């Protein structure tokens, strides 16, 4: 019987409207056996490269190719430790490649990885590509943006709404893989996983154009394979100045949730290797123990007591040496977890305001198609719009879904007609 992972996933990457090359890379690996899921879980990662001469494209590709391989290689380490080591070694490889070739000098990439384990969700993060979790009507950002704005705000040097906040650019990142030999990697979790949770990994090409409440509402109203398309379309409709990458994973069965599992807790710093002990120590302990048994036969009780004490000392010394490499480590249980996330919490849902905003987007897109004399199947578009309006009161979730499907349908119609410039489908909102 095939293993049912209990998770629905979808992914999509797009070059955007202004770039000629897609420097984003991603990987999505769903465990195909129960044993693999228990040991290493499902692996998702987004990397947003930077650098000229295709350097950014190379850096992000190296990150997503090497990180999951290394993560699964270090089976003797706990999942968080293996994940951190994998990304650290990926940084070393990217840095070495950059220093070896002048065309690639200084190349770098963000790296945001999510592992869905029986014990919970664990994140490893460098840069400003984000990891979100939607639970109910709350969208939580599980990753911290390593950007100048976020760092200044966290240190108390930047006040929300101040002139300085408006002046500091949002896209200046403070950490990335590649430029430096060493990198600080943030680890978060494990965050308990519940049925219905929806996880999103994305590059800043999405978050720079689509607001958090819109992300959460679309993730909550649409299945993953539809949501990724709508999110990419929205980012492109609003100018699409950067590459856009979206990964979504939705927990649909109790077996994939933390409460449905009895797996042992994740451990940090645990060592299970026994150290070798010099055989002479065991020989000495054995000789003294034998003497402690034989000497009383000759009524040499004091020497026998001394021999017994020596045997105990030698034995204890040997055991200490043997188990000096073994430790239980720190268990990540209860409220004990890595990191300080979630870092933001945004309410979201199919409100009338959201519906009106997306409906306005659909109307503008339709006007672009009409003005550009595109050949569109307007009957299908109008039917989706009709369903959306009809469901708005009785079933807001379905209303949003139908409305979003109308946008995706119209975008697909426009994309297939190559005699029009891509910029014709841009809408500034």
- Domain coordinates in residue numbering, the chain: 7-267+335-349, 271-327, 350-424
How high is the pLDDT of residue 427? Answer: 45
How high is the pLDDT of residue 323? Answer: 63
Q: Kindly report the CATH number that applies to the domain delimited by 7-267+335-349.
A: 3.60.40.10
Written as tens digits, the pLDDT of the chain (429 aa) is 678 899 999 999 999 999 999 999 999 999 999 999 999 999 999 999 998 878 999 999 999 999 999 999 999 899 999 999 999 999 999 999 999 999 899 899 999 999 999 999 999 999 999 999 999 999 999 999 999 989 988 888 877 767 666 677 778 899 999 999 999 999 999 999 999 999 999 999 999 999 999 999 999 999 999 999 999 999 999 999 999 999 999 999 999 999 878 888 998 876 555 567 788 887 877 887 887 788 888 788 887 787 888 878 877 877 777 666 555 668 888 888 999 999 999 999 999 999 999 999 999 999 999 988 899 999 999 999 999 999 999 999 999 999 999 999 999 998 887 544 444 444 444
The answer for residues whose C-beta is within 8 angstroms of residue 179's C-beta and 6 or more apart is 95, 98, 106, 107, 108
pTM assigned to the model: 0.86
């Amino acid at each position: 019987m095939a293993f049912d992972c209990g998770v629905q996933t979808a992914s999509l990457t797009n070059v955007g409207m202004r770039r000629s090359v897609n420097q984003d890379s991603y990987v999505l690996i769903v465990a195909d056996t129960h044993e693999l899921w228990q040991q290493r879980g499902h692996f998702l990662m987004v990397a947003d490269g930077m650098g000229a001469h295709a350097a950014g494209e190379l850096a992000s590709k190296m990150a997503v190719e090497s990180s999951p391989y290394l993560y699964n290689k270090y089976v003797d380490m706990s999942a968080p430790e293996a994940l951190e080591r994998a990304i650290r070694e990926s940084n070393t490889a990217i840095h070495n490649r950059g220093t070896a070739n002048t065309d690639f000098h200084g190349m770098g990439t963000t790296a945001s990885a999510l592992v869905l384990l029986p014990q919970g969700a664990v994140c490893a993060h460098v840069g400003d590509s984000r990891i979100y979790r939607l639970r109910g009507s709350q969208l939580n950002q599980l990753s911290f943006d390593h950007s100048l704005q976020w760092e200044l705000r966290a240190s108390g040097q930047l006040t929300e709404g101040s002139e300085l906040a408006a002046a500091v650019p949002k896209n200046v990142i403070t950490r990335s893989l590649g430029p430096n030999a060493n990198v600080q990697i943030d680890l978060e979790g494990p965050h308990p996983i519940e049925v219905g949770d929806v996880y999103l990994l994305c590059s800043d090409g999405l978050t720079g154009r689509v607001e958090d409440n819109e992300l959460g509402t679309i993730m909550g109203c649409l299945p993953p394979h539809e949501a990724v398309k709508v999110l990419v379309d929205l980012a492109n409709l609003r100018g699409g100045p950067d590459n856009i990458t979206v990964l979504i994973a939705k927990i649909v069965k109790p077996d994939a949730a933390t409460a449905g599992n009895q797996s042992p807790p994740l451990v940090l710093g645990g060592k299970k290797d026994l150290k070798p002990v010099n055989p002479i120590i065991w020989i000495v302990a054995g000789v003294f123990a034998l003497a402690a048994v034989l000497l009383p036969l000759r009524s040499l009780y004091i020497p026998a007591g001394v021999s017994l004490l020596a045997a105990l000392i030698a034995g204890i010394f040997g055991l200490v040496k043997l188990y000096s490499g073994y430790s239980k480590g720190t268990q990540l249980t209860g409220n004990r977890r890595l990191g300080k996330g979630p870092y933001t919490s945004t309410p979201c849902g199919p409100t009338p305001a959201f519906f009106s905003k997306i409906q306005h987007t659909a109307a503008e897109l339709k006007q672009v198609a009409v003005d550009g004399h595109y050949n569109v199947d307007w009957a299908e578009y109008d039917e989706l719009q009709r369903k959306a309006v009809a469901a708005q009161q009785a079933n807001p979730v379905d209303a949003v879904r139908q409305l979003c499907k109308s946008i995706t349908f119209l975008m697909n119609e426009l994309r297939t007609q190559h005699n029009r410039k891509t910029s014709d489908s841009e809408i500034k909102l």
